[in-house]
Each structure stands twice: as structure tokens, then as C-alpha cells.
Amino acid sequence: MKKQGKEVSASSFIEKEKVKSIMKKMKNDRFFHSLSETFRAMSDPTRTKIIFALCQEEELCVCDIASIIGTTSSTISHQLRILRNMNLVKYNKIGKVAFYSLDDIHINNLFAEGLRHVQEK
């Protein structure tokens, strides 16, 4: 590595206390796999639109979401199944109709932070 024109060993940059502190907080591989899967589930534009719609209302049925997004109920059902399997949305069945909502406030908060990040650019 070069630092201001000098060749420097990478090991000279190690700040042992910082590294030690972060290593204590580091989660296991399974945790990071789950976290990356959550972000991957939110990476599809249709699923992102679904989450956005569910952030606006407490519950929506498949046909309402399909109307909002401008696609078919079949497409929405498929995407909702992925979101449900990732524990990002849940449903409440009333009769034959399933009403979807975000699984918990954390999903709303995570999505809201992403929106703020994009809007501030």
C-alpha cells in the first residue's frame, strides 16, 4: 500500500482495540446470511412496490395491491409468497380473502430508511 508516496505495510494500519471491539460484536455466518436474504428479497422492484404499498396502509388484499402496482393478482401472489417466506409480510385471512401487512415495525423502519437514503441523493 502507498500512503502519501511511501510504501507501507497493511499490518501497520491494524488498530487492535477497534478490531477487538468489533470482533466481540460480530455475528455468525448464519446471521449474515439471513440479513443478506432480507435485502435480496427487497431487491426486486415489484416486491419493493408491494412493501411501499403496505407501508401506506395497515392491510391490503392481493387484488388491491395488484391494482395499485398495475400488474396481475397472480404476479402479486407469487411475490407475496417470497416476502412471506422471508418473514417480511404476514397475512390475516377473513373468509376467503387474505389481507397482507408488513410482518413487523422493523420492516417498515428498514424500508423508510432506504427511502430516505434514495430521496436525499
Domain ranges of the chain: 45-121
Q: How far apart are CA 14 and CA 20, in angstroms?
A: 10
Cα angle for residues 113, 116, 121 (degrees, 5° grid): 135
Strands of the chain, DSSP E? 2-3, 6-7, 60-61, 89-94, 97-102
Confidence (pTM): 0.81
pLDDT at 10 over 70: no
Please give the residue that has the higher pLDDT: either 107 or 2. 107
Q: How far apart are CA 83 and CA 71, in angstroms?
A: 17
Fold of 45-121: Arc Repressor Mutant, subunit A (1.10.10)
What pLDDT score does 1 carry? 44
65-112 pLDDT, tens per residue?
999 999 999 999 999 999 999 999 999 999 999 999 999 999 999 999
12-35 pLDDT, tens per residue?
668 888 988 999 999 999 999 999
